[in-house]
Amino acid sequence: MIGATQPIQRPTNARLLVVDHNRRFDHVLRTALVEYLHPGDLVIANDAATLPASLQGIHVATGEPIEVRLAGRPSLRPEDVSWFSAVVFGAGDFHTRTEDRLPPPRLTPGDQIIFGAPLECDDSPHSNMPLRATIEKLLGHPRLVVLRFAGSADQVWAGLAHHGRPIQYAHVQQPLALWDVWTRIAGPPVAFEPPSAGFTLDWHVLANLRERQIEFETITHAAGISSTGDEELDGLLPLDEPYRIPEVTARAIQRTKERGGQVVAVGTTVVRALEHAVTRDGRVRLGGVATQRIGPSTRLHVVDAILSGTHERGTSHYELLRAFLDDETLDRASKELDERNYLTHEFGDSVLIERPTTDGV
């Protein structure tokens, strides 16, 4: 696969690999997605908007520049923005490959970080206030920390808006704007990186779903970061992620199961939330914090199919796909994606994978 280098959200010529429940493969345009769904199916997407979660700052103890990438928070409540888990890099920015980034100075609890300088020509109430934070503790790795921001919730939100920018990787060299990483259905600003499978859903696709009597609902899930450039730290991903499931979505899941339709998750975050939320009696809780990892040993109870980006072997996203397909079929899919030069990363092409109905080929 080839890394997508332009911040274009699934153009009309973007491609889709479909692996159906009989393990048959189709290569089509992403606009053909609805042709592989059926009346009575339910499509569920993550409506989280992406935060400006990359912050350039100064490590006060050493005076050295650092980059902090926010990676987690305890809840989705707007007032809960004092505490975040975060990954810290040394000097530099997204133009350098993540795995080549400099490490930060030695971090210890109590260290202070200052983000941003006062902005000129801005008379908003908090524009002249740098954003300040304290490292509260390390989380099992010298670059993974808990940060506590100073100030009120309004001050923290204003600081993020003024001094933050979207988390970005070197495969896209032009700076990203927030609208580049917001899906068409973006709502609450709680994601740290975009729930990019949702880039496939433009208004034409959503209208076609309705015309074909395919239900569409949303959840809100704080999608986390996809890579840190450090093998040990990447092994901790995904981190714990809070989510909220509207009651209307929970009811739609129950109806779909009762009538024998498919629940189609748009993205790995939706799978993680729904499979964490399901109870022993098959009901779906309305919220929580997803702490589990989904992989080849996971038995899926809610989701029947996934619409996802194309993912490389060894990533946590690829591991989640192993809950849907056996390794032999997934290897074959990866080979076809490589041979046909599908694009990967957040602005790349897509796959639609149905769970097999039997264990046979």
Query: Sorting pLDDT into bands at 50, 70 and 90, what band is 355?
Result: very high
- Is the same domain home to 199 and 268? yes
- Is the same domain home to 106 and 202? no
CATH number of the domain that 78 lies in?
2.40.10
- What is the bridge-based pairing of β-strands 83-89 and 64-72? antiparallel
- Is the same domain home to 79 and 155? yes
CATH number of the domain that 185 lies in?
3.40.1780.10
- What is the bridge-based pairing of β-strands 343-344 and 2-3? parallel
Range of the structural domain that residue 147 is part of: 54-165
Tell me, what's the pLDDT at 314?
85
Query: Sorting pLDDT into bands at 50, 70 and 90, what band is 120?
Result: very low
Arithmetic mean of pLDDT over the chain: 93
Residue 344 lies inside a defined structural domain of this protein: yes
Query: Sorting pLDDT into bands at 50, 70 and 90, what band is 116?
Result: confident
Residue 40 lies inside a defined structural domain of this protein: yes
State which amino acid sits at residue 64: E
Contact between residue 83 and residue 313 where contact means Cβ atoms under 8 Å apart: no
Q: Is the pLDDT of residue 183 over 70?
A: yes
- Is the same domain home to 112 and 197? no
Residue 359 lies inside a defined structural domain of this protein: no
Residue 287 lies inside a defined structural domain of this protein: yes
Tell me, what's the pLDDT at 320?
96
- Is the same domain home to 181 and 278? yes
* Span 122-180, pLDDT tens digits: 455 545 679 999 999 999 899 999 999 999 999 999 999 999 999 999 999 999 999 99
Residue 314 lies inside a defined structural domain of this protein: yes
Q: Is the pLDDT of residue 201 over 50?
A: yes
* Adjacent-strand bridge partners of 133: 113, 149
- Is the same domain home to 34 and 63? no
User: Which of 105, 131, 165 is where one domain is finished?
Assistant: 165
- Is the same domain home to 132 and 28? no
Q: Is the pLDDT of residue 14 over 80?
A: yes
- Is the same domain home to 322 and 289? yes
Annotate 87-109 with DSSP letters as a single string: EEE-S--TTS-GGGPPPPSPP-T
User: Which of 122, 137, 165 is where one domain is finished?
Assistant: 165
- Is the same domain home to 279 and 323? yes
Query: Sorting pLDDT into bands at 50, 70 and 90, what band is 282?
Result: confident
- Is the same domain home to 159 and 60? yes
* Span 31-72, pLDDT tens digits: 999 999 999 999 999 999 999 999 999 999 999 999 999 999
Tell me, what's the pLDDT at 361?
37
- Is the same domain home to 41 and 76? no
Query: Sorting pLDDT into bands at 50, 70 and 90, what band is 121?
Result: very low
Annotate 7-69 with DSSP letters as a single string: ---S-TT-EEEEE-TT--EEEEEGGGGGGG--TT-EEEEE-PEEP--EEEEEETTTTEEEEEE
